[in-house]
Chain A
Amino acid sequence: MAKVRHESEWYPLEPGETVLDGLLRQGVHVPHACRAGACQSCLMRATSGAVPEAAQVGLKDTLRARGYFLACACRPQEGTALEVAGASELRVPARVVALESLSGDVFAVRLEVESPLDYRAGQYVTVVRADGLARSYSLASLPREGQLELHVRLVPGGAMSGWFAREVRPGERVHLQGPAGDCFYVPGQPEAPLLLAGTGTGLAPLYGILRDALEAGHTGPIHLFHGAREPAGLYLVDALRALAASHPNLHYRPVVLAGGGGQMEEGALDAKVLTCLPKRPVGWRAFLCGNPEAVLSLRKKLFLAGFSLKDIHADAFLPSTPRAGPVAGAA
């Protein structure tokens, strides 16, 4: 049996159980969301004992060196003991300054942090509520804008999005952790074609990346595809049309599965995306964000169409996952 010590209390772990599951099962509050090692909400720090390598995959070297690990990916070896602490010192206080509707179920949340957050447009942060509820959101803002902008979709039954939509007023305080993620624009090769494609609120990081590239003086063609089931699922349409009107190298293509017409194309997003590619997309860079199935399918299609893997930056939005059933006896 492995055991974990948190705030002077020892907690036994079931065989194969993660630190996150073990602590939650025994009533310890640990912020968490994706349970897949991606969102980094469940970041903890080991103060004593060995952390399995798998629990530090994807973390920055500076965090690893200080003993940080992801509780959802941490399965300590049988018979070992691990002493852990929360990651509260990595969180910065933030204040909601505005909420603004962008479409039927998407709204922008603007936040102010006391000291500027060092981030790249397109990265994501984890919002942590006072009671520990945590969810990750991509940043749609640019660092120079001061305020942070998140796009939140009201998910039916969603704990954080429902709270934002119904209860939060300007002035509400939360904490932010991050930034994380490597889906962002890197200056250089300003003539290279860029392909930005996303579904739903996958537009948030793309909106940041797009404006970052334009402000950095990117002159190559930029193809922005935003996909939704129906026209009501698209947002920032006018802002993007205006941006495209003032930047001839920007090609904005809203795509819907049904109900298209006029300037709104109808069809499958990946089929539309593939039509803009030349026979050999040499030097192209792609940024794909949003629904995991769409992102993973598009990444594979772009790779097969000739993209180099290193030139495809993908950010699949994982849903928050409820706690898995008890490990013992699970089928």
Chain B
Amino acid sequence: MTSVYEKIGGEPAMAAAVDVFYRKVLADERISHFFEDVDMERQAAKQKAFLTMVTGGPANYSGKDMRAGHKHLVDRGLNDMHFNAVAGHLKETLEELGVPADLVGQVMAVAEGARADVLNR
């Protein structure tokens, strides 16, 4: 079965989506402090990897990596409210880029599946 990643245009689509998505999370004061980074390129690359993963593209991180990668943020208070805010921006990003509703639904289901790992539960 073709992945959402391939259906919406693969890597070039991710490159376009990451600017939109990163701008949304950085502008949202509830969560921006989790995304502040002196090295914006590195931060953008992480988010591109995240978008690639939730759309079913060539993923290079596992549930275990998700846990380890967010542990220090959970220690700083990362919780469901923050997760929901990021998920909301993900949904809006996909909608703004014209991704059909059924595909957005599939992506959101994958993202929801990562909740327990991200929040280290």
Contact = CB atoms under 8 A, between A and B. Distances in A.
Contacts of B30: none
Interface in B7-28: 19, 22-23, 26-27
Give the size range of A's interface with the partner: under 10
A16 to B, nearest CB: 19
Nearest to B18: A309
A279 to B, nearest CB: 14
Given A299-B40, A309-B40, A304 B19 contact: no
A309 B19 contact: yes
Contacts of B38: 296
Contacts of A309: 19, 22, 40-41, 44
A309 B26 CA distance: 13
A308 interface: yes
Interface in A149-196: none
A308 B17 CA distance: 11
Interface range on chain B: under 10, 10 to 19, 20 to 34, or 35 or more?
under 10
Contacts of B41: 309
Interface in A284-319: 296, 299-300, 303-304, 306, 308-309
Nearest to A309: B44
B90 to A, nearest CB: 18
Contacts of A300: 26, 40
Contacts of B22: 303, 309
A34 B26 CA distance: 28
Contacts of B44: 309
A306 B40 CA distance: 15
Nearest to A306: B23
A293 to B, nearest CB: 11
A304 B26 contact: yes
B99 to A, nearest CB: 20
B89 to A, nearest CB: 13
Contacts of B40: 299-300, 303, 309
Nearest to A316: B38
Contact of B19 (A296, A299, A308): A308
Interface of A: 296, 299-300, 303-304, 306, 308-309
Interface of B: 19, 22-23, 26-27, 38, 40-41, 44
15 contacts: A296-B38, A299-B40, A300-B26, A300-B40, A303-B19, A303-B23, A303-B26, A304-B23, A304-B26, A304-B27, A306-B23, A308-B19, A309-B19, A309-B22, A309-B41
